[in-house]
Amino acid sequence: MNVQDRRRLLGPSNAKPIVFSAATDIQSSEPKKDESSSFILNSGLIENCNGSSLVEIRDPKVTQHQTSLITSVYGPRATKGSFTSQASLSIQLKNGSSEKYNTTELKEVSSFLVNVFNSVINLSRYPKSGIDIFIYILYDKVLSEESKKSNNISAILPYCISAITLALINAGIEVDDIATAGYYKGDVISFIKNGEEVIGYWKDEGNCESFDVALEHCKTEAQKFKNLITTHILEE
Amino acid sequence: MNSIENSVIDVKPLVFPKDVLARISPDLILQRYLSLNLRPSIRSFDEFRDISVSNIDDIENEFADNVLGTNILKCGKTIIITTITASIIKEENQDETFERYYEDISGVERRRNKVSEYGSVYPVVEIERGRGNAPPSDEEMNIGQKLHDNILHSGLISKKSLKVDYGVRITDLETNKSKIIYPEEDEINDVPILQLNHYQKNLKYVLHAKITVFSRTGPLFDLCWNSLTYALQNTKLPKAFIDEKAVSLKTIIRSRGKTTELRENFNIICDTNTRVPLQLNKENIAYASNYGIVDLDYDLIDTEYEEKNNDNDKKTVLLADINTESEEEYINSSISIITNKYGNLKNIIVLGGTSKISMEILKKSISLSKIRAHDLESKA
């Protein structure tokens, strides 16, 4: 049975969400070929959380995405219940302006991110506490026509990882190293220790030749993000 | 026993940092600031925070598919993001019956029916507090309901502007090219238009707003209202059409095997390429502002004040745009006004609280909100 949520104003229940025609042949309004990439990092913009970051990235070459993420970190805060020797980590992703990704996709990504950051955050330093991280996908736009069809969430994973790292540093939570990741044709590999240690590997549909090729490409990408984050921290 | 009596207890005064004191004793810190003619946020009494407005459209050049309007409002540290989406509903045709009864009614009834000419927005407010998927808080529910009611009663959106005037997509069998004809384009030579008018169903857009608030530092209703107003002003509704073959499509529905009824399907498709701005009743666009009223209490900061001045007249001040914890916690009397720059009041809520709200204060708050509305309007 369809139970109406009475706590939120969701409008009449028999209303149908609007459906758009598939982008017709009429005129697909030639996208302006703007090959410039931009990276904007900002931290500490949200008042009532422990740490926050804003990551705005436009990368027409590698990931072909233009994305803006607002990340907030709450914690370490005391958890209810029995004693635990180390902090528990939770990460949630939320769709912002458009309902682009469905909940299962977002859940999958968040569990991947939890795995990555379990090995980065010094969890044993915060016993009986919880660290909650929220990522709000303000907007996410695919820049190239061919990757528009696949609607892959994997391309924004490196941004998520950089955003969380930045927010964690802003919150003053102890991390082993600055974790970053790179993207190459559907593969996402996350590194610490100057690319010597892999802490996460995400394989998505894509025509990646072999793991070694992906590893090399991702390493250079990850290094780029790491440099960006370090310069941002030093500038602050 | 003796040793305790003889020992000297050294009492040191405790010194708290500003933020901590604001938590422990919001009244004290507020009064201290006010005695210096300032507020905890270093604003003067009738000074508002600056608002900066942008929309995602500026950055993105194009809307995400189902987003019809956006707004990002920044006020101090607070960030409010509003996105407008829509759905389509089929309205039962009540117009004729309505017309008939309209003659008989008067007074309150008539007023009530006036409201039924207007549409509203269904807002879902979400205030980020790091709670995850917890149910909505009281504040979120209150703001949502207030926004909905105020938009409806302000007469900002008339039902006419939400009507879906859909066209027909005609596919030429020979060339296999499709073309969409809209009713206002007056191509009378095309037969389907005549058919269309015959089958035109009463379809209506339902607007939904998703309002997300980051770093809440004070009362939010007026900020949410302003953000929603800005978002509605740049909302563009898509043009809609149905396929030619679906114009006269009807399906038979049986309920419990006894009655048979004909139900028309509506498979409305929205055109990705054409969008028309939502027609708002421009004269009804209004902006919100809030005020707090507080009595200056010199006893609290100066214990000898009472002895020096014996008059019981308390000085009352009006603070514009309440923000920060110490103001919000301590101020019980408030005024909330929605108006446009000409003083066309749409809503006013006065909470008496503990302070006396005099006529002067009311007048001052209304004139301030007119100035504020003028300023906010220039940013739209």
Q: For residue range A154-172, list pLDDT tens digits in order.
A: 889 999 999 999 999 999 9
Residues 6+ apart with CB under 8 A from A164: A53, A71, A73, A91, A113, A117, A133, A135, A179
Report the DSSP beta bridge partners of residue B54: B72
C-alpha distances (whole Å) from B277 to each of A207, B237, B238, B280 are 42, 6, 9, 9
* B285 within 8 A of B338, measured Cβ to Cβ: no
Q: Which residues contact B205 (CB under 8 A, 6 or more apart)?
A: A18, B86, B87, B88, B162, B163, B164, B237
Q: Grade residue A29 by pLDDT with cuts at 50, 70 and 90.
A: very low
Q: How far is CA A231 from the centre of its chain?
A: 20
Residue type for position B121: V
Select from A21, A26, A74 the Cβ nearest to the Cβ of B270.
Answer: A21
Look at residues A147, A48, A138, A46 and name the one whose alpha carbon lies nearest to residue A95.
A138
Task: Compare all CA atoms of chain A with the CA of B212 and give the residue at the minimum distance.
Answer: A96
Probe site for chain B from A6, A33, A48 (most B CB atoms < 10 A): A48
- Token look-up 């993105």 returns B60
Sole residue written with tokens 């909330």: B336
Residue B186 lies in a domain: yes
Query: What is the predicted pLDDT for the residue at B203?
Result: 84
Question: Which residues, at least 6 apart from B216, have a Cβ–Cβ distance to it below 8 Å?
Answer: A47, A48, B78, B127, B128, B129
Provide the chain B residues 32-71 that lie in CB contact (below 8 A) with chain A. 56, 59-62, 64-67, 70
The pair of structure tokens assigned to A230 is 């370090």
At B32, which amino acid appears? R
Q: Is residue B56 part of a domain?
A: no
Residue B148 belongs to a domain:
no
B171 and B263 fall within a common domain = yes
Checking if the pLDDT of A17 tops 90, the result is no
Quickly state the pLDDT bin for B167 (edges 50, 70, 90): confident
Per-residue pLDDT tens over the stretch A39-90: 899 999 998 899 999 999 988 888 888 889 999 999 899 988 889 999 999 9
Q: Same domain, yes or no, for B175 and B261? A: yes
Please tell me the least confidently modeled range out of B121-135, B198-212, B226-240: B198-212
Question: Is A21 an 8 Å CB contact of chain B?
Answer: yes
Of A21, A47, A97, the CB nearest to B217: A47
Phi-psi region of A151 (alpha: psi -120 to 50; beta: other; left: phi over 0): left
Give strand pairing partners of B253. B261
**Span of A9-18, A96-105, B224-233, B264-273 with lowest mean pLDDT:** B264-273
Q: Model confidence over B55-88: pLDDT tens digits?
A: 776 544 454 567 888 899 999 889 999 999 898 8
**Same-domain status, B249 and B297:** no
Of A99, A20, A17, A6, the residue nearest B205 (C-alpha): A17
B30 within domain boundaries: yes
Mean predicted lDDT score pLDDT of chain B: 80
Tell whether B195 and B253 lie within a shared domain.
yes
Contacts of A12 in chain B (CB under 8 A): 89, 206
Q: Where is pLDDT greater, at A203 or B182?
A: A203
Would you state the pLDDT for residue A226? 93
Q: Are residues B255 and B304 in the same domain?
A: no
pLDDT at B96 over 50: no
- CA-nearest residue of chain A to B148? A9
How confident is the model over B119-149, as pLDDT tens digits? 899 999 999 988 877 889 999 999 999 999 9
Instruction: Give the side-chain half-sphere CA count within 13 A for B65.
Output: 17
**CATH 3.10.20.440 matches A38-235:** no
| A18 interfacial to chain B (CB closer than 8 Å) | yes
Tell if the CB–CB gap between A21 and B269 is shorter than 8 Å: yes
Give residue B194's pLDDT. 46
Could you tell me where the beta strands, DSSP code E, fall in chain B?
51-54, 69-75, 78-90, 118-119, 121-127, 157-158, 167-171, 178-181, 203-214, 236-243, 250-255, 259-264, 269-277, 287-295, 316-320, 333-339, 347-351
Can you give the pLDDT at residue B61? 46
pTM of the prediction? 0.87
Judgement on whether residues B361 and B310 belong to the same structural domain of the protein = yes
Instruction: Test A11 with B122 for CB contact under 8 angstroms.
Output: yes
Q: CB count, 10 Å around CB of A73?
A: 26
Whether residue A20 is predicted with pLDDT greater than 60 in this model: the reply is yes
Residue B282 is which amino acid?
A: K
> What CATH number has the domain bearing residue B299?
3.30.230.70
Q: How far is B129 from chain A (nearest CA, A)?
A: 7
How many Å apart are CA A72 and CA B303, to the nearest integer?
Answer: 44
Alpha carbon B158 to its chain centroid, in Å, reads: 16
* Structural domain containing residue B310: 21-48+287-377
Spell out which residues of chain A touch residue B132, defining contact as CB-CB under 8 Å.
Answer: 90, 92, 132, 134
CA distance B5 to chain A (A): 41
ipTM over 0.85: yes
pLDDT at A50: 93
**pLDDT for residue B182:** 74
Reduced to 3 states (helix: H, G, I; strand: E, B; else coil), residue B305 is helix
B25 assigned to some structural domain: yes
Specify the number of domains making up chain B: 2
